[in-house]
Copies of this chain bind each other. A is one copy, B any other.
Amino acid sequence: PSKLPGYATHQVGVAGAVLDEDNGKVLVVQDRNKTVNAWKFPGGLSDQGEDIGATAVREVLEETGIHSEFKSLLSIRQQHNHPGAFGKSDLYIICRLKPLSYTINFCHQECLKCEWMDLQELAYCSNTTIITSRVAKLLLYGYNEGFHLVDLTMRTFPAVYSGLFYSLYHKELPETYEGSATLL
């Protein structure tokens, strides 16, 4: 095993799938600077020290003007030698968000179009990317049959040595499995 010090190998991008549960519509954009106009979830790179959910909420607001709150983590993509990643690897995380406002005021520098689209339509339309389509299907599954089936929920815990905190994401653990001794 390597004894070399660790170094940053990954950039982390985060997208927000903002779903209005009252009408089943999800917020989508088309990027301005792509040759193909595919519907996508708004998103972008994490700033240094920024939590995953915070990146999703910030990027959604910057691109679309919609305020939202973090609900869960839905999917993670790992990609190596990604053209935009300068030789680094790329982790792209898609979060489920809940809208807190509904009036779109999108960034015309970044986006060509922005709209609330029926989730069912997004899941089965052809002018989208594979990852958007798969996450739309996953979101549709959760919307129809319960978000507990698809969500990784977040909890915050104190770090052992540093006095800082960390965020842990995984499937909801039933109450009956909770409870423990005092841990290190």
Contact = CB atoms under 8 A, between A and B. Distances in A.
Contacts of A62: 1
A173 to B, nearest CB: 6
Contacts of A158: 130
Contacts of A10: 8-12, 46, 91
A100 interface: no
A78 B91 contact: no
A170 B8 contact: no
B107 A131 contact: no
B183 A76 contact: no
Q: How many copies does the complex hold?
A: 2
Contact of A51 (B78, B130, B181): B78
A131 B157 contact: yes
Contacts of A141: 173-174, 177
Contacts of A177: 123, 137-138, 140-141
Interface of A: 1-2, 5-13, 36, 38, 44-49, 51-52, 59, 62-63, 73-86, 88-89, 91, 107, 109-110, 123-131, 133-135, 137-138, 140-141, 149-150, 152, 157-162, 164, 166-171, 173-174, 177-178, 180-184
Given A10-B12, A79-B164, 20 more contacts: A1-B59, A2-B45, A6-B13, A8-B8, A8-B88, A9-B12, A10-B46, A12-B89, A38-B184, A46-B89, A76-B76, A83-B162, A91-B91, A123-B180, A126-B184, A129-B184, A130-B157, A133-B180, A141-B173, A150-B171
